[in-house]
Every structure is written in C-alpha cells, then in structure tokens.
Amino acid sequence: MVTSPDHIKTIKPYVPGKPVEELERELGIKGAIKLASNESSLGPSPSVLRALRHALKGINRYPDGSCYYLKTSLAEKLGVSPEEIMLGNGSNELIELAVRTFFNAGDEAIMAHPSFVVYSMITQAAGGKNVVVPLKEWRHDLEAMASRITEKTKIIFIANPNNPTGTINTKAEMDAFMNKVPEGVLIVVDEAYYEYVTSPEYADSMKHFRQGRDILILRTFSKIYGLAGLRIGYGIAKPSLITELNKIRQPFNVNSMAQKAALASLEDEKHISKAKKINEKGKKYLYRELKALQFDFVPTETNFIYVILKDDSAGQLYEKLLRKGIIVRPMGPREIRVTIGLPEENEKFIETLKKIQNAE
C-alpha cells in the first residue's frame, strides 16, 4: 500500500461547512440559511449573470491562459502593470504556488493564530515548519512576528483583515513591521476582505509593493463580488516574483466562466457599493442585538463576526443552531464565526438565538 510521508499524514484536512440542501434533507426542514463561509449575502451583480449566460456558448474551448482581458482591467483599476498581476483558482491557489515556488524542505513560515488555516496546511505539505505567533487583542502581533524571523524564514503570512477575527493591522504597525523584515523574506498579505474595510487606519500594502519590497498581495472575487462558486482570485507583486510563480502555475488554471464573471463584476461598482452598505447595516444590527443578548464579540472590518461565549459551549450552540436551520462556523470551544447576511437572515439568526437562550 502506498503511504504518505509523515509531514502529510499529520495534516488535518479542511472541513467545509454543511451545504444548505443537505441540512434541509437531513432535518426535513425548509428555509435553512448558511452563515458559515463568509460568502456575499447579496450575490453577484446582474451584469455577471448576463455575462455568464453569454459565455456558455464558448465552454468547448480552453480559457485564455494568460487572463489577458481581466489582467488588463485589473491593472487599470489598481494603477499597476499587467505584468504585476497574477490570476489564480481562488487566492488559495496563489498561497500554494507561493509556498511551492519559494520553499525548500525545512524552511519556515511565520503566521498568526488563529488565522486562515490554509497557511499552515500548505506550509506543512511542502515540508516546511510553521512558526505560529498568537494574536494579541485579536489582531496580528506584528512586533512578535518580526522577532521570530530567522535565517530559515522564507514567508510571513499576514491576513489583513484577519480571518476568523475580522480585525485589521494599521498603517503604523505595518510600516514598523516592514522595516524589520530583511531581504529574502516574502511577505504574503492576504486581503480577501479588503473591500469591506472602512477604517482609515487600515494598512496600505500597496505602498510597500510600490517601494519594490518582496510582497505578494492577495485579493479575491469570492467575497464582496459574490463569485465564490467560480473560484477566482489574484495576486499583486513585482514582475520578478510573478515570473517565478508562473513557472509552476498550471496552464489554464482560471476557467473561462470565472474570467468573464470577474471582468463583468469589476465594471459594476454600484453593486459593490450596495453590498458594502448592506453589510454595514447588518453589522450594526447584529452588534446591537448581540449586546442585548449579552454575547461578547470582536468588532469587525469584514462581513463576519467572531462571537465569544462565556463557557466552552460553542459546539453545543452550533448544533442547536444547526437543528433550527442555521449554519454557522464553530472556531473553538468558546468561539463561533457568523457571516453577516441579508436583513432577514440576520433577523432569523437573532430570533433563533433568543429562543435557544429562553429554552435554557
């Protein structure tokens, strides 16, 4: 029997949230809602759906392997050159490409905890060592992360905003951190929730990119653009880094439907503005109601809220909500993560929490 090496055997596979349809089938219910995966509550732009219908006739052909039109549109929007952009099958693929491209066995990657679990999974899969630094006040402790840099450090992962806590690091914090990072270390700044941020103190990763630093900025169409099912994200980096990443990128890694949808979504700024307004309104509502129910939570700059319970009952609360047709994400013994949904979804979540509390 073929066996995997030890560093693969000990990886815990990512466990996705339960599909709504399967939950409804299991429990014999209707109207279940999914607030577990931080997807856009509004969904894609109507122009995206039109573009997809038009693109269907071409699915017998391979996609544009260079993503020429999307890359050109992104470059114009971001004020960079097309050679400084790389498209991926979700930003997850770009995380994997970065590790596979620049890692040797035994190299180290520094990351925060809790943060996006894919960083540690891919580092371990490449035979690397995860150097994990706890969050400080629910945010990346950039000072502590900088202090863990050694000659073996090859990549530092920074999720800004952070998943699952929804917190950000500031301009001043990032500037001080970058001043401590030596040459030869790649900084991967994961900005999957970039478009939701409202804080004026949010770190400017593009500044460091324009200074020529070894930085890879990751963004995605899976969140506010509502294209999670199509799997498309992009990275911004200097051309020399993009060239290296492209050496191991699979041909035709971004499908034609995803390219057309992303291109159409970039052109509909009103839809993105609407999605952001709905999110802000939902955030205020959930803040108010969670406080009234005496739940602690971390103020967020994203489309989800990290809720902290008073005891180790997160698993029990998850199961109770599940049986009522509401899917959230358990994150630890005392923590759950809840996506900010449409008004009616937020209201259903709160009303269900009230019923659960009253039954106890």
Retrieve residue 155's tokens: 């990549």
Q: One-letter amino acid identity for 110?
A: I
User: What's residue 187's pLDDT?
Assistant: 98
- Asked if residue 214 lies in contact with residue 182, where contact means CB atoms within 8 angstroms, the answer is no
pLDDT value of position 241: 98
Count the alpha carbons within 13 Å of 333 in the hemisphere toward its beta carbon.
Answer: 3
* Whole-number Å distance between alpha carbons of 37 and 17: 7
| Tens-digit pLDDT string for the chain (360 aa) | 888 888 888 888 877 766 788 878 887 888 899 999 999 999 999 999 999 999 999 999 999 999 999 999 999 999 999 999 999 999 999 999 999 999 998 999 999 999 999 999 999 999 999 999 999 999 999 999 999 999 999 999 999 999 999 999 999 999 999 999 999 999 999 999 999 999 999 999 999 999 999 999 999 999 999 999 999 999 999 999 999 999 999 999 999 999 999 999 999 999 999 999 999 999 999 999 999 999 999 999 999 999 999 999 999 999 999 999 999 999 999 999 999 999 999 999 999 999 998 886
pLDDT of residue 359: 81
In this prediction, residue 8 carries a pLDDT of: 86
* φ, ψ of residue 151 in degrees (nearest 5): -70, -15
- Let me know: does 154 contact 187? Beta carbons within 8 Å: no
Class of domain 6-43+270-359: alpha beta
Question: How many Å apart are CA 261 and CA 282, to the nearest integer?
Answer: 26
Q: What is the pLDDT of residue 27?
A: 79
| Integer angstrom CA distances of residue 50 from 47, 74, 179, 265, 268 | 5, 20, 47, 11, 12
Query: How is the chain split into domains, by residue range?
Result: 6-43+270-359, 46-268
At residue 2, the pLDDT reads 85
Say if residues 142 and 169 touch (Cβ distance below 8 Å). yes
**pTM of structure:** 0.96
* CATH number assigned to the domain covering 46-268: 3.40.640.10
